[in-house]
């Protein structure tokens, strides 16, 4: 039986009908998850193995039969560790059906089927008894239910149910304990991700709506590789505070709760942001610790265990406040079943209301988008380009999602400005800006799609200037923003002859790179040179027995250091002065590997040519250094194409990469093929 489901195409704007059969192959879906990264996390694996062995020894020392419950087993690795450590039997619970099937296959392949039972259910649905999923309650609880926020995957209710219904009283737990830490900081860099700053436009000050400054923002955590945020980008106002701990060997409550930490302010400034991370104690004594602390907390940075499945958290206070050295304050953390949030007060804050966006901007714009709108250098490039093309008789139409460009065009003196806003919420956000700056009639917002626009909507005016950033909320990969090109094509009938298009074109760039760590998330376990030969390592290698995706995927590369092995190379140019072609566009060429190292794949990004002399890059924000250092724009995701097997480069330029890229305008995607020629 075959079924079809509709999927919006981010590049063409159309609806693609995708076929899904009963034999749907989930290998790519599994490959794109974080399982590979977890399996490559040697520090995590070793700490879990040590904790499991210690727990099994403690239970055996009591003369008990060892029964393990592994909730969220994934590939089955932790269950196999438990049996290897001497457990008598293990129940491995996994709710994700494709992963449960993979776990059962891996368990069988490793000859553990007689001691491990894979249960394809949510743990809350597991039953105990003669006819149940488990024959008896377990006395060791092994879990990996954690996310960057610790509890975001429902760890608390899962633990609570397990202790009440699936575990023996006085059981062991691996991990045994989790502790959450937090630090109050001032950071203009991070604060720019949650509030819009005023913008100076030729004598005008564009002010954000008052509602935005009073809004507590979105409740979702901002999880990032905090190690890549330079310490110069924030000032610690207080000490690192221990907020609370959870003992997983005892009954855990999922009831909403709060914890406060009293501290003395160490440096005056503006309290804006809370940085947070957590540790896992794998045993009761706390001698086996798996820490999520960022790299700059380590006295020896080489000891820092890189991981991407668990990062660090950034929380924005509901409002910034001035604090002085010597002030005594309370930092309070609240939690419900799935999330945390913080407040700062002079006393103990008993308020437990979860932050909620009331201005709608935090629902329309992502945090990188806030940062992009606050980037004054980027804004000045757009203003410079607009000044060069706008005339007093210009009739402008803007095509982007929630963009300030149409307001800029009005303030720079355009005769009329229209703006297409496909999203009702983004339309309301821009309306707030217009009202806050008393220019409600200066920009006419049209809540329709480009192909639906008529001359009547434009008051019978012809468009002389079409502008866009381009930014669209549905874009993931760099070329998804070519939706602007499709809109331009749909609007051709309404454009004046010789109308100005901004940006006038876009260029796709390609760069061969050696990643410091990101390569691990897609590398087969057998290629991870950090593993030694041991029973655990063999299990790890067997636990990633599926095919990998051969497509580019989006990543914020500023979080993932890499080194260039070639020069940035333009591979495709898209001319927005012309309509989208009907036939595919192909580009072939070669790139010499001029940097010495291991090529893990290719970074791809767009550079938009606003005018002939003004360009905005969505990739590299600085030229590549002689050593190959890359500095990436934090505002947009870049595309990454991972090679199945890394290529070695001697750096002499004789090793050559051949590329073959084809952009299909009908599906809005780019097919890629790379090969290597060595002397």
Domain end (from 133, 153, 176): 176
pLDDT tens digits, one per residue of 11-40? 777 666 555 544 444 444 454 455 677 888
Instruction: Assign 598 to helix, strand or coil.
Output: strand
Does residue 614 have a pLDDT over 90?
A: yes
| Mean pLDDT computed over 277-303 | 95
Q: pTM, whole model, 2 decimals? A: 0.92
Does residue 373 have a pLDDT over 90?
A: yes
Would residue 43 count as lying in a domain?
A: yes
Does residue 255 have a pLDDT over 80?
A: yes
Would residue 74 count as lying in a domain?
A: yes
Domain end (from 160, 176, 192): 176
Would residue 550 count as lying in a domain?
A: no
| Mean pLDDT computed over 413-426 | 94
| Mean pLDDT computed over 599-624 | 97
CA distance 409 to 398: 9
φ and ψ of 521, to 5 deg: -70, -15
| Mean pLDDT computed over 120-133 | 96
CA distance 63 to 618: 62
Would residue 553 count as lying in a domain?
A: no
pLDDT of residue 6: 56
CA distance 608 to 511: 17
Would residue 323 count as lying in a domain?
A: yes
Residue 74 and residue 211 in one domain: no
Question: Looking at 172-181, 368-377, 522-531, 577-586, which range is the least confident one?
Answer: 522-531
pLDDT of residue 551: 87
pLDDT tens digits, one per residue of 657-668? 999 999 999 999
Indicate if 153 belongs to the active site.
Answer: yes
Instruction: Assign 124 to helix, strand or coil.
Output: helix
For residues 41 and 20, the answer to whether their CB atoms sit within 8 Å is: no
Nearest to 141 by CA among 109, 177, 95: 177
Residue 314 and residue 185 in one domain: yes
Phi-psi region of 152 (alpha: psi -120 to 50; beta: other; left: phi over 0): alpha
Residue 512 and residue 648 in one domain: yes
Indicate if 144 belongs to the active site.
Answer: yes
DSSP state of 374: T
Torsion of CA 134, 140, 142, 146, to 10 degrees: 110
pLDDT of residue 598: 96
97-109 vs 77-84: helix crossing angle, rounded to 10: 30
Sorting pLDDT into bands at 50, 70 and 90, what band is 116? very high
| Mean pLDDT computed over 125-147 | 96
For residues 175 and 145, the answer to whether their CB atoms sit within 8 Å is: no
Q: Which residues share a beta bridge with 218?
A: none
pLDDT of residue 245: 97
Query: How crowded is residue 405: how many other Cβ atoms within 10 Å of its Cβ?
Result: 25
For residues 94 and 167, the answer to whether their CB atoms sit within 8 Å is: no
More confident residue, 434 or 39: 434
Q: For the domain that residue 249 is a member of, what is the CATH number?
A: 2.70.160.11
| Mean pLDDT computed over 415-420 | 97
Residue tagged 């898209």 (tokens): 574
Q: Which of 46, 64, 136, 153 is catalytic?
A: 153
Does residue 577 have a pLDDT over 70?
A: yes
pLDDT of residue 33: 54
Would residue 310 count as lying in a domain?
A: yes
Q: Which residues share a beta bridge with 397?
A: 418, 466
Per-residue buried b or exposed e for 108-132, using 16+ beta carbons within 10 Å of the residue's own CB: eebebeebbbbbbebbbebebeeee
Phi-psi region of 96 (alpha: psi -120 to 50; beta: other; left: phi over 0): beta
Tally of domains within the chain = 4
Residue 671 and residue 604 in one domain: yes
Would residue 443 count as lying in a domain?
A: yes
Nearest to 510 by CA among 604, 641, 585: 604
Would residue 255 count as lying in a domain?
A: yes
Domain end (from 176, 205, 228): 176
Query: How crowded is residue 5: how many other Cβ atoms within 10 Å of its Cβ?
Result: 9
pLDDT of residue 39: 81
Query: How crowded is residue 104: how many other Cβ atoms within 10 Å of its Cβ?
Result: 20
Sorting pLDDT into bands at 50, 70 and 90, what band is 525? low
Residue 421 and residue 286 in one domain: no
Does residue 219 have a pLDDT over 90?
A: no
CA distance 654 to 340: 53
pLDDT tens digits, one per residue of 310-339? 999 999 998 999 999 999 999 999 999 889
CA distance 501 to 576: 7
Residue 291 and residue 328 in one domain: yes
pLDDT of residue 57: 98
Residue 145, domain extent: 29-176
pLDDT of residue 10: 78
Mean pLDDT of all residues belonging to the chain: 91
Residue 182 and residue 328 in one domain: yes
pLDDT of residue 535: 43
Sorting pLDDT into bands at 50, 70 and 90, what band is 379? very high
Residue 403 and residue 487 in one domain: yes
Sorting pLDDT into bands at 50, 70 and 90, what band is 527? very low
| Mean pLDDT computed over 549-572 | 94
Residue 461 and residue 471 in one domain: yes
Residue 571 and residue 437 in one domain: no
Q: Which of 144, 372, 548, 607 is catalytic?
A: 144
Instruction: Assign 519 to helix, strand or coil.
Output: helix
Per-residue buried b or exposed e for 184-215, using 16+ beta carbons within 10 Å of the residue's own CB: bbbbebbbbbbbbbebebeeeebbbbeebeeb
Question: Looking at 258-262, 287-291, 348-352, 584-588, which range is the least confident one?
Answer: 348-352
Residue 163 and residue 226 in one domain: no
Write a three-state SS string for 450-494.
Answer: HHHCCCCCCCCCCEEEEECCCCCCCCCCHHHHHHHHHHHHHCHHH
Residue 489 and residue 509 in one domain: no
pLDDT of residue 422: 84
Sorting pLDDT into bands at 50, 70 and 90, what band is 253? very high
Q: For the domain that residue 87 is a member of, what is the CATH number?
A: 3.40.50.150
């Amino acid at each position: 039986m075959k079924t079809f489901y509709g999927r919006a195409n981010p590049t063409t704007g159309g609806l693609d009908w995708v076929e899904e059969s009963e034999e749907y192959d989930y290998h790519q879906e599994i490959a794109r998850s974080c399982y590979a990264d977890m399996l490559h996390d040697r520090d995590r694996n070793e700490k879990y193995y040590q904790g499991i062995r210690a727990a099994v020894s403690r239970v055996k020392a009591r003369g008990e039969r060892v029964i393990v419950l592994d909730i969220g087993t994934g590939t089955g690795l932790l269950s196999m560790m438990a049996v290897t450590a001497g457990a008598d039997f293990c129940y491995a619970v996994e709710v994700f059906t494709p992963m449960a099937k993979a776990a059962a296959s891996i368990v069988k392949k490793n000859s553990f089927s007689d001691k491990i039972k894979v249960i394809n259910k949510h743990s809350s649905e597991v039953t105990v008894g003669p006819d149940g999923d488990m024959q008896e309650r377990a006395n060791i609880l092994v879990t990996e239910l954690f996310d960057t926020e610790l509890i975001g995957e429902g760890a608390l209710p899962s633990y609570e149910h397990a202790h009440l219904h699936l575990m023996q009283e006085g059981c062991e737990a691996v991990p045994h304990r989790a502790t959450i830490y937090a630090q109050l900081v001032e950071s203009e860099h991070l604060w720019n991700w949650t509030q819009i700053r005023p913008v100076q436009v030729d004598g005008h000050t564009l002010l954000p709506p008052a509602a935005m400054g009073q809004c507590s923002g979105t409740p979702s955590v901002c999880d990032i590789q905090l190690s890549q945020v330079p310490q110069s980008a924030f000032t610690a106002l207080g000490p690192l505070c221990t907020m609370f701990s959870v003992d997983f060997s005892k009954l855990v409550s999922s009831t909403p709760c709060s914890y406060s930490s009293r501290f003395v302010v160490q440096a005056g400034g503006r309290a804006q942001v809370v940085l947070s991370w957590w540790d896992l104690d794998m045993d009761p004594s706390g001698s086996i610790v798996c820490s999520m602390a960022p790299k700059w907390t380590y006295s020896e940075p080489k000891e820092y265990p890189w991981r991407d499945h668990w990062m660090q958290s950034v929380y924005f206070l509901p409002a910034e406040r001035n604090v002085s050295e010597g002030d005594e304050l309370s930092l309070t953390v609240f939690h419900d079943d799935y999330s945390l949030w913080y407040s700062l007060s002079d006393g103990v804050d008993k308020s437990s209301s979860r932050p909620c966006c009331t201005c709608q901007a935090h629902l329309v714009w992502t945090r990188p988008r806030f940062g992009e709108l606050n980037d004054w250098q980027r804004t000045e490039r757009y203003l410079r380009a607009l000044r060069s093309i706008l005339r007093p008789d210009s009739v402008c139409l803007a095509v982007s999602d929630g963009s300030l460009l149409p307001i800029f065009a009005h303030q720079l003196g355009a005769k009329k400005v229209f703006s297409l806003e496909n999203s009702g919420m983004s339309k309301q956000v821009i309306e707030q800006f217009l009202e806050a700056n008393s220019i409600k009639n200066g920009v006419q917002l049209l809540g329709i799609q480009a192909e639906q626009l008529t001359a009547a909507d434009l008051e019978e005016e012809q468009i002389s200037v079409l502008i866009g950033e381009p930014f669209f909320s549905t874009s993931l990969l760099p070329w998804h923003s070519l939706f602007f090109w499709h809109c331009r094509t749909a609007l051709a009938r309404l454009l004046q002859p010789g109308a100005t298009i901004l940006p006038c074109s876009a260029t796709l760039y390609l760069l061969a790179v050696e990643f410091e760590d990101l390569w691990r998330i897609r590398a087969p376990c057998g290629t991870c040179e950090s593993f030694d030969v041991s029973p655990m390592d063999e299990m790890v290698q067997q636990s990633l027995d599926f095919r990998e995706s051969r497509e580019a995927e989006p990543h914020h590369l500023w979080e993932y250091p890499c080194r260039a092995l070639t020069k940035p190379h333009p591979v495709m140019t898209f001319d927005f002065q012309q309509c989208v072609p009907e036939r595919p566009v192909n580009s072939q060429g070669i790139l010499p590997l001029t940097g010495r190292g291991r090529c893990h794949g290719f970074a791809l990004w767009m550079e938009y040519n606003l005018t002939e002399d003004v360009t905005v890059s969505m990739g590299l924000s600085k030229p590549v250094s002689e050593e190959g250092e890359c500095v990436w724009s934090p505002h947009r995701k870049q595309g990454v194409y991972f090679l199945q097997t890394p290529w070695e480069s001697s750096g002499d330029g004789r090793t050559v990469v051949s590329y073959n890229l084809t952009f299909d305008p009908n599906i809005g995607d780019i097919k890629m093929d790379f090969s290597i020629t060595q002397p």
